Structure 1
Amino acid sequence: MKFSKKNENLIHDSGIIKDKRFYKSKIFVGLCQLFSVILIILGILAIFAK
């Protein structure tokens, strides 16, 4: 009985770790998109400033 309980905990923990990694990668992708949008806006502003 103890053994099965340990396995459940391991599965549960790995699920949490996967979620954290997933959210981190999602945030990272979001930041990259935001950064690229800012660069595009700055580029457009630079063109109009000339």
Structure 2
Amino acid sequence: SWQMTMMLHRFEDEDDFASEMRRATLGHLAASETARRDLAENYVGLPF
């Protein structure tokens, strides 16, 4: 997914702001079970 790609890869043209946003997102996922669950549900699709 786009979100996973942007979060897990550093791009050559990435500026300092984008780099810090990427690190903050990873930090939020590491600290929050709710954030991890939300990412997982959105990645595989919500149950219907």
TM-score band, normalised by shorter chain: 0.3 to 0.5
Q: TM-score, normalising length from structure 2?
A: 0.38
Larger Rg computed on CA atoms: 1
TM, length-normalised to structure 1: 0.36
RCO greater where, 1 or 2, for CA within 8 Å and sep 6 or more? 2
